[in-house]
Amino acid sequence: MTSIAAALAAARQEIPPSDARLLLRHVLCCGSAWLEAHRDDALDAAAAVRLAALAARRAHGEPIAYLIGIREFYGRDFAVTPAVLIPRPETELLVDLGKAAVAALAAPRILDLGTGSGCVAVTLALELPQAEVWAADLSADALTVARDNAARLSARVQFVQSDWFAALGDARFDLIVANPPYIAAGDPHLEQGDLRFEPPLALACGADGLAALRHIVASAPQHLIPSGRLYFEHGYDQAAAVAALLQAAGYAQIEQQRDLAGIVRVSGGRR
């Protein structure tokens, strides 16, 4: 029987040390302090086999988030599966802008389009307990993940299976947020890194990556109250194109906000 330290060293031969520690903590269901304090303990055979299997999958490129089933977003842990996009730090900007947009409203109605894991909708529901939050997604599997996250985190969210606005009838909102697919089909980045394992429908849309954004920008005014606001995430090189879409659709007070890397990441405007 091998020790925890020896198993960790073996995993480090295949993957970065930080990944190896995270996978071992997942296998042992323990924290960093416990792992450090018990490095010389024996690791049972089943745990060693499981760690080796996870390390091999990680070495093949499978995302850590899918291997351990969790990704942190806005200070909370969200369950993720290959049915949903992995939450990313830059998407937290969408939450920040959404919170600010409805801060003065007593009971805002908010819609999250293409909710995926539900990280944006659930976070907004928890950060704004006075809000009525809806979340829509075309994927039934994604909605299962999102519902489970809402239940585990005790967030009140109304989930709807919908192809963007199609199943929402005449519902109107103070705020609509979206992190839609915005990578161009055929973009070489789709064959690199974590993107290789994430759901294609959540990543790519149209020859120029703007098909979903065009639809959302054009259709959102029908589901916004007068002066309601739309915010959406987009690609690093799409700022000029989405600004033009917003202007052509007649939005007022158009905004474009940069993420922590200085990239224009979220755009939007007021109906």
Residue 76, strand partner residues: 73
- CATH classification of the domain holding 120: 3.40.50.150
Measured CA distances, 69 to 80, 87, 211 (Å): 5, 12, 30
Residue 201 has pLDDT above 90, yes or no: no
Question: What integer is the mean pLDDT of 105-124?
Answer: 98
Amino acid in position 4: I
Q: Residues 26, 149: one domain?
A: no
**Is-contact 134 160, C-beta < 8 A?**
yes
Mean pLDDT (whole number) for 56-78: 96
Domain span holding position 216: 84-270
State how far the Cα of 195 lies from the Cα of 203, in Å rounded to an integer.
Answer: 8
In this structure, the strands spanning 132-137 and 70-73 are unpaired
pTM (two decimals)? 0.93
Answer left, alpha or beta for residue 114, where phi above 0 means left and psi between -120 and 50 means alpha.
Answer: left
Residue 28 lies in a domain: yes
What is the pLDDT averaged over residues 242-247? 97
CB contact at 8 A, 63 and 19: no
Residue 98 C-alpha from the chain's centroid = 15
Identify the band that residue 188 occupies on the pLDDT scale cut at 50, 70 and 90.
confident
Question: Which runs of consecutive H residues, i.e. helices, occur in 92-139?
Answer: 92-102, 119-127
Residue 255 has pLDDT above 90, yes or no: yes
- Check whether 218 has a pLDDT greater than 90: yes
**Which pLDDT does position 190 carry in this prediction?**
83
Same domain, yes or no: 43 and 156: no
Does residue 189 carry a pLDDT above 90?
A: no
| Residue 184 pLDDT grade (very low, low, confident, very high; cuts 50, 70, 90) | confident
Question: What's the pLDDT at 65?
Answer: 96
Judgement on whether residues 135 and 238 belong to the same structural domain of the protein: yes
Kindly state whether residues 56 and 103 are assigned to the same domain: no
* Percent residues over pLDDT 90 in the chain: 84
What integer is the mean pLDDT of 100-115?
Answer: 97
Write the single-letter amino acid at 1. M
Same domain as 38, residue 91: no
Q: 37: which DSSP letter?
A: H
Q: Do both 39 and 93 map to the same domain?
A: no
Do 173 and 134 form a contact (C-beta atoms < 8 A)?
A: yes
Could you tell me if 34 and 90 lie in one domain? no
Could you give the C-alpha distances from 83 to 73, 116, 123, 159, in angstroms and in order? 17, 8, 19, 16
> Do 89 and 199 lie in a common domain?
yes
Q: Is residue 71 in a domain?
A: no
More confident residue, 185 or 97: 97
pLDDT band per the 50, 70, 90 thresholds, residue 204:
confident
Residue 69, in any domain of the structure: no
Q: Is residue 198 part of a domain?
A: yes
